[in-house]
């Protein structure tokens, strides 16, 4: 049942509390999914024998299962598995050989039909099968890499949301929890890691060694993990839990940062959640090749190596990335693993919470990184998506698992996390934490819906949390708060009015659509920091009396925690601008972001926004400078050929004084933010074709080939990018050779990624050829064409992708098909490019890829309309004379 659509179908203004009541707490019986609920697994005892050379494996298992209602059939998931034998026994039934199962290809299920109906009780289902080891990083796969000893490969797994059915026949939906006891036969040189510690290693026939693991707690199948190969483990302890950083051989030295972070975080999270981490060990495993990102498998988290390892002397960017990722995945050990969303429509429960918790932890242990400001930038990107018609609610109906794969997007992660941030601010830190503790304690080892979380937070805070949450989670979009004020008897009366914020000037049709009303938690303070109590705007408009008087400038949402935009009346806006440098960092960031969003939606003149951007040379905060860089990218994205040189000159004029003050080299005593800003400014100047920066970057790159230490770690990516941007064939070749020699995944990503920045069309052609070259790591191959497109060669990259479509499609994971092609077209402002993207997708891609394609199409068409509206204003502002 699509609850959201039912709610939105109500005409006129709508307070979404009725929708919140529609969502029920978790109940196994009513949880969506395709599996019948009359047979449930209790324990799988699984034995696997991989044959890596043949890309095949054999498996066998005994499943203890419970029949809850008399049934004639046993349904369970399997995909690309060939079952070779099966038998059933128990509940008074002797061992009975089962006939070949019926295959329901559409549901990816096997259906066994025993000779007699099964009465309620416990049974053992035994079976054997054969399956496939993949080359793309999905299900059970081989992960190739280069080691000092030569070419190697790890065996690894990645299952979320529905890959486990490609390893073993199982009940592959998150509400079907079971225990898993694994054993695996591997060559003697291999070490195997799984969710639980190994309990035994013994030689078996064929020169293999059998590793047996302890039983997992009851858990969803998507959390199963198995990694094997020539591994080494660096170990520490936190609160009695053994913490391991597992790498391929020879990389132990790069594990130290992650180990310290993992220990610190586990201890902190044990305290926050109030329920200690329940497994005896927690491994963090670095995969060197084609696996992207990280996956929170219980007790055995996998990462791409570049998001886990930091080489000795590595950059602060790397540390920040690794710390945030380890924190996110560690948070999932509770939020996701110990307590799991009932169905994929509540995926955001897992992801939004882990995203919020990671920022909280990074801020706590590394305040110098100013991560809340960074999180606000990511939230702003989600808001840009969320203001367009192709957005979706955080909680969205998922009919089958293939739809779940498209739910892993910025709305799920960042809007969800943004809402939790706003909610915590409103409820108070202690009440929010107490609610989370109660929720984890109550639902540990089970599943939940959002309603369970709201109930716990509501009980802890005494606030109507379900009502507050409903519109933010169940409806698409977010509000714009229009703010004005008047002074009465020395007190300021603040007027607030909410309306749905739209990315573009509303058409007559859109204006006539029913609009959601949100319950908006909002703080109303002043520029000087007075006041700021959180109130709840729960109607279309409200008036609030501010006792602080009328002298200081009014400041709405001073902490920038609101998932909404603010539009001040002109006098209020001018008063804030007059106090600009003294405003809190969070407020300067929000004013700039709101101004950029209002500019794009046709509610703010370009000149006002340029006046805000012009303040960046004096801006101390990295995140605010980064925001201005994205404004410059926006202007570059809508500039036509006539306007491009003027936009570049404008960018250079804005950025160069700040970069000149920072210099190319790190200085003793500088802040983290200065160290992180330097490379971003340098790369932006190179992108604007600043001749001096391009020359200096090339000189520094040439020197670094002989003396790697001559470029500080924080600048190696920027120097490689800048050298590549202005590269000749010899420089391009030097960079390519360094990329090929590199052993660390991070270094390979850096150098291959830099090659794509080349401005020379001939070099862009050579870079594109690498997108189908086997010696290039798979993840890099997938991203190269999009990077070449961004560097100014979009037409050429699209043409290359068309000419090599079948090779590219065969190379990527099936659900990345849409993303790979969408990314090439993405930055375009051409409606013709949108047409070509859609035509290609309809002809060549599976239907599941279309939502991603539609979002990108929408983004391109929105940019094309923005160009039509804004370009004349931009040209006038920058003094571009007609050609
Ligand atoms: Zn996650």
So what's the pLDDT on residue 162? 95
So what's the pLDDT on residue 509? 60
Are 455 and 463 a contacting pair, CB within 8 Å?
Answer: no
* DSSP letter for each residue of 714-773: GGHHHHHHHHHHT--HHHHHHHHHHHHH--SHHHHHHHHHHHTT--SHHHHHHHHHGGG-
Q: How far away, in angstroms, is 344 Cα from ligand 1 center?
A: 13
So what's the pLDDT on residue 531? 66
Q: How far away, in angstroms, is 150 Cα from ligand 1 center?
A: 33
So what's the pLDDT on residue 19? 45
So what's the pLDDT on residue 21? 45
Rounded mean pLDDT of the chain? 93
Residues 665-684: tens digit of each pLDDT:
999 999 999 999 999 999 99
Q: Is the pLDDT of residue 20 over 60?
A: no
So what's the pLDDT on residue 486? 96
Residues 783-816: tens digit of each pLDDT:
899 999 999 999 999 999 999 988 888 877 665 7
Q: Which H/E stretch holds residue 555? A: strand 554-556
Please tell me which of 375-384, 399-408, 525-534, 842-851 the model is most confident about, judged by mean pLDDT: 375-384
> Whose structure tokens read 């710390």?
323
Label residue 15 by pLDDT band (50, 70, 90): very low
- Choice among 160, 264, 305, 329 that is catalytic: 329
Q: Which whole number is the average pLDDT over 282-298? A: 95
So what's the pLDDT on residue 400? 84
Q: How far away, in angstroms, is 348 Cα from ligand 1 center?
A: 9
Label residue 819 by pLDDT band (50, 70, 90): confident
Q: Which whole number is the average pLDDT over 559-574? A: 97
Tokens of 769: 């050829």
Q: What is the CA radius of gyration of the chain?
A: 28
- Taking the C-alpha atoms of residue 198 and residue 192, their distance in angstroms, rounded to an integer, is 8
- Taking the C-alpha atoms of residue 456 and residue 449, their distance in angstroms, rounded to an integer, is 12
So what's the pLDDT on residue 5? 31
pLDDT, greater one: 774 or 167:
167
Q: By mean pLDDT, which of 150-159, 412-421, 512-521, 813-822 is the weakest?
A: 813-822
Label residue 6 by pLDDT band (50, 70, 90): very low
So what's the pLDDT on residue 618? 87
Q: Is the pLDDT of residue 264 over 50?
A: yes
> Whose structure tokens read 């609030």?
544
State percent of the chain over pLDDT 70: 96
Q: Is the pLDDT of residue 561 over 80?
A: yes
Q: How far away, in angstroms, is 112 Cα from ligand 1 center?
A: 35
Q: How far away, in angstroms, is 350 Cα from ligand 1 center?
A: 7
Residues 455, 457, 458, 464: is their CA dihedral positive or negative? negative
- Backbone φ and ψ for 760, nearest 5 degrees, come out as -65, 120
Are 194 and 213 a contacting pair, CB within 8 Å?
Answer: yes
Q: How far away, in angstroms, is 703 Cα from ligand 1 center?
A: 40
Q: How far away, in angstroms, is 645 Cα from ligand 1 center?
A: 41
Residues 679-723: tens digit of each pLDDT:
999 999 999 999 999 999 999 999 999 999 999 999 999 999 999
Are 566 and 590 a contacting pair, CB within 8 Å?
Answer: yes
Q: Which whole number is the average pLDDT over 356-363? A: 98
Q: Is the pLDDT of residue 246 over 50?
A: yes
Q: How far away, in angstroms, is 323 Cα from ligand 1 center?
A: 14
Q: Which H/E stretch holds residue 613? A: helix 606-613
Strand order in the sheet with 231-238: 231-238, 241-248, 281-287, 300-304, 294-295
CA angle (635, 639, 643) in 5-degree steps: 115
Residues 568-596: tens digit of each pLDDT:
999 999 999 999 999 999 999 999 999 99
Q: What is the DSSP letter of 118?
A: B
- Taking the C-alpha atoms of residue 806 and residue 809, their distance in angstroms, rounded to an integer, is 5
- Residue 329 known to be catalytic: yes
Are 83 and 100 a contacting pair, CB within 8 Å?
Answer: yes
Tokens of 640: 């036509």
Q: How far away, in angstroms, is 293 Cα from ligand 1 center?
A: 9
Q: How far away, in angstroms, is 327 Cα from ligand 1 center?
A: 10
Q: How many C-beta neighbours within 10 Å does residue 542 have?
A: 16
Q: Does residue 111 sit in helix, strand or coil?
A: strand
So what's the pLDDT on residue 10? 33
Residues 40-92: tens digit of each pLDDT:
999 999 999 999 999 999 999 999 999 999 999 999 999 999 999 999 999 99
- Taking the C-alpha atoms of residue 482 and residue 485, their distance in angstroms, rounded to an integer, is 10
- Taking the C-alpha atoms of residue 134 and residue 146, their distance in angstroms, rounded to an integer, is 19
Residues 220-243: tens digit of each pLDDT:
999 999 999 999 999 999 999 999
């Amino acid at each position: 049942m699509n609850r959201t659509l039912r709610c939105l179908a109500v005409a006129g203004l709508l307070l979404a509390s009725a929708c919140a009541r529609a969502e029920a707490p978790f109940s196994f019986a009513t949880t969506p999914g395709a599996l019948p609920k009359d047979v449930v697994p209790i324990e799988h005892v699984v034995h696997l024998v991989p044959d890596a050379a043949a890309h095949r494996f054999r498996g066998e298992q005994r499943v203890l299962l419970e029949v809850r209602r008399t049934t004639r059939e046993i349904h369970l998931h399997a995909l690309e598995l060939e079952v070779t034998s099966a038998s059933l026994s128990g509940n008074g039934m002797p061992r009975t050989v089962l006939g070949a199962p019926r295959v329901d290809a559409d549901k990816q299920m096997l259906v066994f039909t025993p000779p007699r109906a099964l009465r309620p009780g416990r049974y053992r289902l035994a079976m054997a099968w054969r399956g496939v080891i993949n080359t793309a990083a999905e299900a059970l796969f081989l992960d190739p890499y280069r080691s000092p000893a030569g070419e190697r490969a790890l065996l690894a797994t990645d299952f979320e949301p529905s890959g486990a059915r490609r390893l073993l026949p199982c009940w592959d939906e998150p509400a079907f929890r079971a225990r898993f006891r694994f054993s695996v036969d591997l060559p003697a040189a291999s070490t195997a890691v799984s969710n639980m510690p190994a309990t035994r290693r013994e030689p078996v026939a064929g020169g293999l060694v059998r590793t047996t693991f302890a039983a997992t707690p009851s858990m969803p199948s998507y959390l199963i993990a198995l990694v094997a190969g020539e591994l080494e483990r660096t170990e520490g302890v936190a609160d009695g839990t053994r913490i391991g950083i597992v790498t391929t051989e020879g990389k132990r030295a790069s594990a130290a940062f992650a180990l310290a972070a993992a220990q610190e975080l586990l201890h902190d999270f044990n305290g926050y959640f109030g329920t200690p981490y329940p497994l005896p060990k927690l491994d963090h495993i670095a995969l060197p090749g084609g696996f992207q990102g990280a996956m929170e498998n219980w007790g055995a988290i996998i990462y791409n190596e570049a998001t886990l390892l930091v080489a000795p002397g590595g950059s602060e960017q790397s540390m920040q990335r690794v710390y945030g990722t380890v924190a996110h995945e560690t948070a999932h050990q509770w939020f996701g693993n110990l307590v799991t969303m009932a169905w994929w429509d509540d995926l955001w429960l897992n992801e939004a919470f882990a995203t919020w918790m990671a920022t909280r932890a990074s801020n706590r242990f590394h305040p110098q990184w100013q991560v809340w400001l960074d999180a606000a930038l990511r939230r702003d990107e989600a808001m840009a998506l969320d203001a367009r018609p192709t957005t979706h609610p955080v909680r969205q109906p998922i009919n089958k698992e293939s739809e779940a794969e498209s739910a892993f997007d910025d709305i799920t992660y960042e809007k969800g996390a943004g809402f939790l941030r706003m909610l915590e601010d409103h409820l108070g830190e202690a009440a929010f934490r107490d609610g989370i503790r109660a929720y984890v304690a109550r639902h540990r080892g089970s599943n939940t819906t959002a309603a369970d979380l709201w109930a716990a937070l509501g009980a802890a805070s005494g606030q109507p949390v379900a009502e507050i949450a409903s519109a933010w989670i169940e409806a698409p979009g977010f509000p714009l708060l229009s703010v004005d004020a008047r002074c009465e008897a020395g007190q300021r009366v603040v007027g607030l009015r909410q309306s749905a914020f739209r990315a573009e000037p509303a058409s007559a049709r859109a204006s006539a659509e029913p609009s959601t009303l949100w319950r908006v938690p909002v703080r109303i303070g002043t520029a000087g920091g007075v006041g700021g109590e959180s109130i709840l705007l729960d109607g279309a408009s409200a008036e609030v009396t501010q006792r602080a008087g009328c002298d200081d400038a009014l400041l709405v949402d001073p902490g920038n925690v609101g998932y909404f935009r603010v539009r001040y009346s002109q006098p209020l806006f001018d008063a804030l601008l007059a106090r600009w440098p003294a405003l809190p960092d969070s407020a300067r960031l929000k004013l700039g972001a709101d101004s950029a969003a209002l500019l794009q939606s046709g509610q703010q003149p370009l000149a006002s926004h340029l006046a805000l951007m012009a303040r960046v040379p004096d801006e101390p905060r990295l995140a605010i400078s980064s925001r201005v860089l994205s404004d410059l990218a926006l202007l570059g994205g809508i500039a036509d050929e006539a306007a491009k040189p003027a936009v570049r000159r404008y960018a250079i004029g804005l950025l160069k004084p700040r970069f000149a003050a920072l210099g190319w080299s790190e200085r003793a005593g500088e802040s983290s933010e200065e160290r992180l800003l330097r490379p971003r400014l340098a790369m932006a100047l190179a992108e604007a074709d600043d001749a001096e920066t391009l020359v200096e970057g090339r000189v520094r790159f040439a020197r670094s080939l002989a003396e790697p230490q001559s470029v500080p770690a924080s600048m190696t990516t920027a120097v490689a990018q800048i050298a590549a941007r202005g590269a000749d064939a010899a420089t391009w070749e030097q960079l390519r050779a360094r990329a090929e020699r590199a052993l660390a995944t991070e270094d390979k990503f850096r150098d291959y990624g830099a090659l794509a920045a080349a401005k020379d069309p001939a070099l862009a052609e050579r870079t594109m050829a690498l997108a189908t070259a086997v010696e290039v790591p798979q993840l890099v191959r997938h991203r190269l064409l999009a990077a070449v497109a961004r560097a100014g060669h979009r037409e050429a990259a699209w043409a290359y992708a068309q000419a090599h479509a079948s090779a590219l499609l065969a190379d990527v994971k099936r659900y990345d098909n849409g993303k790979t092609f969408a990314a090439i077209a993405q930055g375009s402002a051409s409606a013709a490019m949108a047409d070509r993207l859609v035509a290609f997708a309809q002809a060549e891609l599976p239907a599941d890829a279309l939502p991603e394609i539609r979002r990108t199409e929408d983004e391109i068409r929105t940019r094309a309309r923005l160009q039509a509206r804004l370009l004349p204003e931009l040209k006038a502002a920058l003094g571009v004379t007609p050609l």
